[in-house]
Structure 1
Amino acid sequence: MAAKHHSIDAYIGTFPKDVQELLQEIRAVIRSVAPDAVETISYDMPTFNLNGTYLIYFAGWKKHIALYPVTGKISEALAAELSGYKGTKGSVHFPLNKPMPLDLIRKITELRIAENQAAAAKQAAN
């Protein structure tokens, strides 16, 4: 099955203007924290890869923007800040009708980079 979107720009372009702006803000935050990450589309979602593996995904939905993955370690580290948001195991949902928590997205990305680097170091050691 071919991906519906061939780039993050094409993906974002399918949303209403106000949601496009939010998605671009999230993209910019991730890019600022992970400038070496490679942008791609995976599972038909904007994805940032680092050290040859995925770092973080985000996706627009009808009423929220989801960020993946929110691992157990991240959930514990940011429990208080994440408590105001719904999600599924491994994701957090940011409602479209509330301000995007860009600082929280920055923190999640920073923690994902640390997890990614630890995994890459462990793999290199084996």
Structure 2
Amino acid sequence: MAGRPKFVDVDDYLASVDPESQLILQEIRRIAKQAVPKAIECISYQMPALKLQKTFFYFASFKHHIGIYPPVKGDKRLNEELLPFRGPKGNLQFPKNKPIPYPLIKRVVEALAREYSE
């Protein structure tokens, strides 16, 4: 039985997803690196991730959505705006068949970087 693929780096992960998802993930990657330029890219839990002192932002492609983890906790206004995208455990799910709210995702990256550096 074959297990899940083991990705070496973010480029390796991106090469494994469909072209539509690649474009979305590349844009998320670009805005995340722009939002937190000191963050280091890595693979964690077999997903692209960013870390400073510790890993604070994960993003991945699924069949029908783009997932972003972990949930934002400290920003009440941002959390209200994220309500339509909350999954069962509070993680974010952005449907691929709707426009991806990149400016909102940038705010999520910034908020998670703050939360995990405190």
Using structure 1 for the length normalisation, give the TM-score.
0.84
CA separation in 1, counterparts of 2:47 and 2:4?
13
Match of residue 5 from structure 1: 7
Unaligned runs of 5+ in 2: none
CA distance in 2 between partners of 1:2 and 1:59 (Å): 14
* Aligned equivalent of 1:82: 82
1:36 corresponds to which of 35, 38, 51: 38
Return the alpha-carbon distance in structure 2 between the equivalents of residues 38 and 90 of structure 1.
25
SS at match of 1:84: helix
1:25 aligns with 2:9: no
For the residue of structure 2 that corresponds to 1:87, the secondary structure is: coil
1:107 maps to: 107
After the TM superposition, list the runs of 4 or more consecutive aligned residues in structure 1 that deviate by more than 3 angstroms.
none
Residue segments in structure 1 that go unaligned for 5+ positions in a row? 119-126
Q: CA RMSD in A?
A: 1.8
Residues paired across the two proteins, number: 116
> SS state of the match for residue 5, structure 1?
coil
Q: What is the rounded CA distance, in whole Å, between the counterparts of 1:90 and 1:73 in structure 2? A: 13
Given that 2:57 and 2:109 are in contact with CA atoms closer than 8 Å, whether structure 1 keeps it comes out as yes
* Structure-2 separation of matches of 1:66 and 1:6: 20
CA distance in 1, matches of 2:45, 2:77: 27
| Larger of the two Rg values belongs to structure | 1
Note if contact 2:72-2:111 (Cα within 8 Å) is conserved in structure 1.
no
Aligned residues with identical type, % of pairs: 36
Identify the range of structure 1 (79-88 vs 16-25) with the bigger mean alpha-carbon deviation: 79-88
Counterpart in 2 of 1:63? 64
Q: Deviation at 1:84?
A: 1.9
What is the CA distance between 1:3 and its match in structure 2?
Answer: 6.2
